[in-house]
Amino acid sequence: MSVFTRAKNGLFGQTKPRNPHSIENLKYLCGVLNRNPIVSDANRDLLIETLRFISEILIWGDQNDSSVFDYFLERGMLTYFLNYMRQKHGRYICVQVLQTLNILFENIRHETSLYYLLSNNHINNIIVHKFDFNDEEITAYYISFLKTLSLKLNTQSINFFYNERNHDFPLYVEAIKFFNHPETMVRIAVRTLTLNIYKVPDPAMHRFILDRTATEYFSNLVWFIRTHILDFDRLIRNNQDINNRGRVTCGLEEYLDHIHYLQDIFLLNVDSLNNVLKDQLMNRLLIPVYVFSLIKRDKFSRITDPRTKLDQSSALFLLAEFFLVTRYLPVIEELADIILSANIETVEAVQRRYGEQISYSLPPTSLDICLAKPDTLTNKNNSEISLNALDINNGASRHHHGHEPNRTRSASSSPISFATHHPLNESSTKSTSLYISNWTDDEKTKLHIDQLKFNEADLAKRPYFEALIQALDCTENDQKCFYALSVLLTMTMNPSVDTGILESVGLTVKCSNKTFYNTILVDQLCEILSLSVSPDSKIRLVTMNLAINLLKKLVYDEEEKVSYLSDHHLARIEGVHEQSTEDLRRHYRQQEMFLDMFEDEYRQMELNPIRLEYLLKDPCMLYPPTTTPLSGVEFIKRLPSGDIERARRSIRMFFLIRGLSLGLRSVTETEVPLTKAENLVKENDKLDLNNSDLIACTVLMKEKKDRRFLVTDPMQFILIEPDVKRLGWGIVKFCDLMQNDYKYLAARLRVTVTYINDMTVGKGIGDLKLLLFLVYFGTEIDVKVANDKEDTRSLHITIHKPVNNTYVKSNPPILNAKFTFDDHIRCMTAKQNLSKGRLR
């Protein structure tokens, strides 16, 4: 502040009060604004500080003195804010005004204070002010200010922003213009704002959004999402280096944000908006981009634009994510119906219609221009950006289906219409293209008969479903197979998919009677299991896991514990089980650390089960399968490299297939693990030490010093102290498992080779002699033993317990101490015993 300015404020104005949080100080600051109506370089810093102090006083007044807001409104101080922003040197003032208002609205707690600030329409005038949005700082503060205002919306405060008489809603209209801003945080703030507005139960406001902005906003939003998806697909195709997956990760995260935002809109249950969004999604994205990319473009379609063609793996991935996240019944049910039930005539009609329509053209008018048109409402039906209804049953296509019964009014004969023709009907939530719930009893009976007869001829009549089954082929690699299994799992487990749609193609996941399961699909799943245990298999563990999960859902009733699998398919699975056992027996002879690997793999499978939602979020799965561990890809998500990893893979395959075999036969696992945790020594147990080898030692841990006895045991690290009440007995003070020598384990636990007569499967399969040599000893402990360089009688022993979560890198030791023995001989004996417990 210059000397002249300070003199001016002191001589010709009020003296600044000592108490900064008082109405007197607010009066003083108002005088500063009144004396400085023009922004200049001389008073710019003064005005910025004045605005900041005003926000502090208003926040204080909201909690302590209501007269502060009375004076603020009486003097119309928000008018000064607007005047400053409109001036030439207003850039710095704009930033400070937006920051001040943002802080102010964030901290106001009383509704009365909020209503005072929102009165006189000054906030709306600030919202529509022509800011310089080329300035990133102004844009950030502006969007943050709008989002903060949206958090204050309710049925009362919405009236300060939406003017029903003038059909004006600047808070919403100005915000959605930033829906495609290059900055991610700006887009997220806009989406948060729209959700906050949509959830306010105000029919008049919803009517305005529907009439003036819904089609324009949702059509441009879907186009923006589609553009990002096409770019994402090209990025995956052109970037096959899995070590350079930063951009792919960002693209994946962006797509997840898109579909979660769409699901959040659907969850608000604003039927009129959901209908418009649903039609835009189906006709601009899901059908022409996702579904059409499942089959070869030249097979049925007239569309030749290569820019709209996705790679089949990308299309499967996008569909799997969409089915996983979205739960809106009209969209999910119609999409599943098209994929599973659409026949050849329907596919040809739909693709021909989309080839003739504008579904691949850019929005002819930008969102800013659309929102600026005053006659948008009157010309709604003739708007260039609105989509025409795509009725595949009109004209020539109708006579193709005229002779068919009225049964399948599903995807095979469903019109795709738009809510823009009946935009104000809030109760019209039922999809116009799905009629599953309207089937008669005769039609349902006929459907059940058709289910029992589902064969390859029926599959050939459904091109999209056939493409999904063919993607399960793992001849070259399992990338498409993984995502095809993901689509089937997410689709069948989505609660919004009607059971009748799934049962029409033999997907018996949701029904109790699974006798009519899809034999073609089960044959393909059995083939995947067979290929997974073959030498040099190209199938990863995650793909194997998904195939087993889908197979069990198709043929096994979890509640009744009954399997409906035929003898033929069960025999194939038992053959795979026997083959996996033989492969494991081979690795058992070759690997010295086999039992250690077995223990670790069993523990990892129990502690970290595979979850599909996490797999679909991993960008590594979008690349062709790799083998090298240097890529940073988790072991279960890539192919094995080297003999040790092949042995680990065989162990996991054995567990997966063994679990499937026992589950289908309703047999409880009793052999694994053989060693139970309750049979091991625990802390505070009392042991008889009369026949045990003990080594006396002194344990030093930080400032603590204890006299203990180290028990020579091949399985556990045990420290005891003598029991003063019983001679020859000791009390366990510390114990935990170690890596173990299988020779010691076999001697201690009397592990014997056990043969059992396995079940007879079908005909021609004899008794299966299974070698049960696999032993599980619980959690493996890493024990490190090092000599003390200064004292030959001492050892430094550190024990690490593996963490349960594979994503947790830190692993603090559970024991880190210096052990001092009576002499050098006892020290060397203890080290030798500990080493024997860790090495073969």
Domain boundaries along the sequence of the chain: 445-664, 682-739+780-838
- Which has more confidence, 548 or 115? 548
Give me the mean pLDDT over the 144-159 stretch. Answer: 93
Give the separation between CA 398 and CA 177, rounded to whole angstroms.
Answer: 42
Q: Choose the most confident range, by mean pLDDT, from 451-465, 504-518, 612-626, 708-722.
A: 612-626
Omega within 30 of 0 (cis) for the link into 363:
no
* pLDDT of 601: 85
Sign, Cα dihedral of 126, 130, 133, 137: negative
**pLDDT tens string 168-226:** 899 999 999 999 999 999 999 999 999 999 999 999 999 999 998 899 999 999 999 99
Q: For residues 66 and 60, give the distance between their C-alpha atoms in angstroms, rounded to a whole number.
A: 9
Return the ∠ at Cα 611 (arms to 607 and 612), rounded to 5°.
Answer: 165
pLDDT tens for residues 780-824? 446 788 888 889 999 988 887 655 454 444 567 878 889 999 998
Residue 278's H or E segment, with its range, is helix 271-281
Angle between helices 90-107 and 136-150 (to 10 degrees): 30
Strands (E), 456-587: 556-557, 562-563
Average of per-residue pLDDT values in the chain: 78
Give SS3 for 601. Answer: helix
Q: Which has the minimum average pLDDT: 1-5, 46-50, 551-555? A: 1-5
What is the C-alpha to C-alpha distance for residues 771 and 593, in angstroms, rounded to an integer?
Answer: 18
Question: How confident is the model over 518-527, as pLDDT tens digits?
Answer: 999 999 999 9
Rounded to whole angstroms, how far apart are CA atoms 646 and 632? 18
Q: Could you read off the pLDDT of 327-375 as tens digits, one per residue? A: 999 999 999 999 998 888 877 777 666 654 444 455 656 677 777 655 4
Q: Residue with structure tokens 């109760």?
A: 427
The dihedral over CA atoms of 238, 181, 221, 212, expressed in degrees to the nearest 10, equals -160
Residue 707's CB is within 10 A of a number of other CB atoms, namely: 10
3-state SS class at 431: coil
CB atoms within 10 A of CB 110: 13
pLDDT in tens, 199-208: 999 999 999 9
8 A C-beta contact, residue 710 and residue 695: yes
Report the pLDDT value the prediction gives residue 675, as an integer from 0 to 100: 60
Residue type, 519: T
Nearest-5° angle of CA 444, CA 449, CA 454? 115
What residues contact 85, with CB distance under 8 A and at least 6 apart? 93, 94, 97, 126, 129, 131
- Distances in whole angstroms, Cα of residue 691 to Cα of each of 64, 174, 285, 491, 688: 79, 85, 76, 63, 8
Contact 570/664 with Cβ under 8 angstroms? Answer: yes
Q: Bridge partners of 59?
A: none
pTM score, whole prediction: 0.77
Q: Which two tokens stand for residue 803?
A: 């963490």
> Could you tell me if 470 and 487 are in contact, meaning their C-beta atoms sit under 8 angstroms apart?
no
pLDDT at 307: 57
The single residue listed with the structure tokens 């007269």 is 67
Residue 801: per-residue pLDDT? 66
Higher pLDDT, 539 or 608: 539
Tell me the β-bridge partners of 481.
Answer: none
- How many whole angstroms separate alpha carbon 58 and alpha carbon 565? 72
CA distance 274 to 418: 11
827's tokens: 């020290």
Nearest to 380 by CA among 156, 185, 212, 571: 212
Query: 416: helix, coil or strand?
Result: strand
Is residue 25 within 8 Å of 57, Cβ to Cβ? yes
Q: Which of residues 656 and 558 earns the better pLDDT score?
A: 656
**Strands 729-737, 813-821: pairing kind:** unpaired
CATH 2.30.29.30 fits 682-739+780-838, yes or no: yes
The helix/strand/coil state of 786 is strand
Q: Where is mean pLDDT largest: 232-241, 483-492, 827-836?
A: 483-492
Residue 391 in tokens: 């009725």
- Report the alpha-carbon distance of residue 650 to residue 712 in Å, rounded: 34
757-767 residue pLDDT tens: 333 333 332 32
- Please give the share of the chain, as a percent, with pLDDT higher than 90: 35
pLDDT of residue 251: 92
In 646-715, where do the E strands start and end? 686-688, 694-701, 704-711
pLDDT, residue 354, reads: 60
Which residues are registered as beta bridge partners of 184? none
pLDDT score at 839: 41
List, for residues 34-90, the tens digit of each pLDDT value. Answer: 888 888 888 888 888 888 888 888 888 888 887 887 888 788 788 888 888 888 766
Give, in degrees to the nearest 5, the angle at Cα 295 between 291 and 297: 100
Give the integer Cα–Cα distance in Å for 789 and 798.
Answer: 16
Mean pLDDT of all residues in 719-740: 82
